[in-house]
Amino acid sequence: MKKNITIIGNGFASLFFIGYFLSLPLFPFFLSFLRRVYSRYQVTVIGNGRFIYFPAIPEFITGKKTKKGITIDIRPYLRRRNIRFIDDQVVDVRDGGRTVLTTQGPFSNDALFIGTGPGFMLDDIPGTREYTFSPCGGPDAMEEFMHRLSGLREGVIYVGFKLNRRDGFVAGRGGQMYECACLLDYALTQKGVRDKFKIHLFSPNIEPGETGAVTDRLLERGIILDYGYEPAEFVEGGMRDVDGSLRRADLILFTPGITAPAWVRGSCLPLSAGEHIDVDRFGQVKGLQRVFAAGDCSSHEAPPPWVPHQAHMAQLRSAAAAKNLRAALRGREPSHTYRFELSCILNMENDALWLHAANDNKPPFWNIFPRHSQKLIAVKNGFERLYLFYLRYL
């Protein structure tokens, strides 16, 4: 009897998991027939069928990336791997992980992988839903921001982020918001209207007076630093401070801290202190058998404080989870852990920085790339093209 593996979500974590779990990470079209013959697993993915390459969303600001270019119908990729696709939303996980409930009904499994991505702390600062835009809301939210921006001839734009640090790592989107602020500066300069706009960068999670390469890049661009600042409330026309005063803003691009999605709270999945799905260093959901999670929905065991939620980390975690799940299905103990690494190219269009940290101090790509060079933008675009080509055609 084939083992029934269910995967929730069709984002980075789930697709990396599939790549590592199936025998050949690059599975060319003609081999899909072969896989039907020898596969030991019946794999089912439950999701919306659309993969979004989130790292390209800040580039909507320069017009170089669009919703169409970064959204992929993932069903052909799944068909090529003989994976069953259920177009639905998961609303609950029960029976110690053995039953996944969607709006259509229950699906049972022998093993479960959860890659549902993040939930955002939208109620943390009142008015976040009503008065802010976020690149993390996906292509539609970013397009709406761009639409509003195009209607402004002058104004004040605040770009900010807040992190959830309760699990001891960076559950939020700092780097992406730095990128958005720098790209805004570039786009407005190209339009010849930069002097008509003030751009602020705020976050309660950055110490006032903090220095470093990113701060230098922001200052070079005349971006006003409101490090340490947290509004009491977002309101019509700006932000209200604790003392009741109003900071005027014509547009606010803000991303709140990250937790697991809301539906997880009512499920049998355990929650960490920071309200992520609680997993151990093998990617196993604590206290449950043959249930694994990776990506933005899940916590880490003993993480370094600088590690963020990233597609890159999702890949490292999914690789370990895939090997451990295969071992678990053979009745063995999990033994594969993963490295912690922050690796991200900050694209400023007229410049770029490679932000990097690793728990084993390994440099990115054997240090063959510079850490500070506009040429890194081509490298970042290269990664994107390669990955989207793999999803579209292989």
Burial of residue 215 (CB within 10 Å: 0-12, 13-18, 19+) is middle
Binding residues for ligand FAD, per CB under 6 A? 8-14, 46-48, 54-55, 57-58, 89-90, 115-117, 135-136, 173, 176, 261, 263, 295-297, 309-312, 314, 344
Distance between CA atoms of 312 and 357, rounded to whole angstroms?
12
Question: 3-state DSSP call for residue 296?
Answer: coil
Shortest distance (Å) from residue 241 CB to ligand FAD: 27
Nearest approach, Cβ of residue 308 and ligand FAD (Å): 8
Q: Is 382 exposed, middle or buried (0-12, 13-18, 19+ CB in 10 A)?
A: exposed
User: Measured from the CB of residue 114, what is the shortest distance to ligand FAD in angstroms?
Assistant: 9
Task: Give me the least distance between CB of 112 and ligand FAD, in Å please.
Answer: 12
Of 115 and 274, nearer to ligand FAD (C-beta) is: 115
- CA 142 from chain centre, in angstroms, equals 15
Q: How far is the CB of 65 from ligand FAD (least distance, A)?
A: 11
- Cβ(255)–Cβ(177) below 8 Å: yes
Start-to-end CA distance of the chain, whole Å, equals 28
Closest residue to ligand FAD using C-beta atoms: 11
Do 117 and 296 touch, CB atoms closer than 8 A?
Answer: yes
CB of 310 to ligand FAD, least distance (A): 3
**From CA 213, how far away is CA 197, in angstroms rounded?**
24
Beta bridge partners of 164: 171
Q: Which is nearer to ligand FAD, 100 or 238 (CB)?
A: 100
What is the 8-class DSSP label of residue 277?
Answer: B
Give least dist CB 279 to ligand FAD, A: 12
Q: Which of 262, 261, 260, 231 is nearest to 248 (CA)?
A: 231
118 in Cβ contact with 299 (< 8 Å): no
Dihedral of CA 217/221/222/228: which sign?
negative
- Minimum CB separation from ligand FAD for residue 261, in Å? 5
Cβ-based nearer residue to ligand FAD, 136 or 188: 136
Cβ closest to ligand FAD, residue 282 vs residue 354: 354
Query: What pairing do the DSSP bridges indicate for beta strands 341-347 and 224-227?
Result: unpaired
> How many angstroms separate the Cα of 380 from the Cα of each of 160, 323, 361?
23, 28, 21
The least CB distance from residue 248 to ligand FAD, in Å, is: 26
Token pair for 255: 């991303």
Q: Which is nearer to ligand FAD, 209 or 305 (CB)?
A: 305
User: In angstroms, how far is CA 144 from the centroid of its own chain?
Assistant: 20
Whichever of 238 and 354 has its CB closer to ligand FAD, that residue is 354
Choice between 238 and 315, CB closer to ligand FAD: 315
Cβ-based nearer residue to ligand FAD, 118 or 127: 118
Nearer to ligand FAD, 97 or 135 (CB): 135
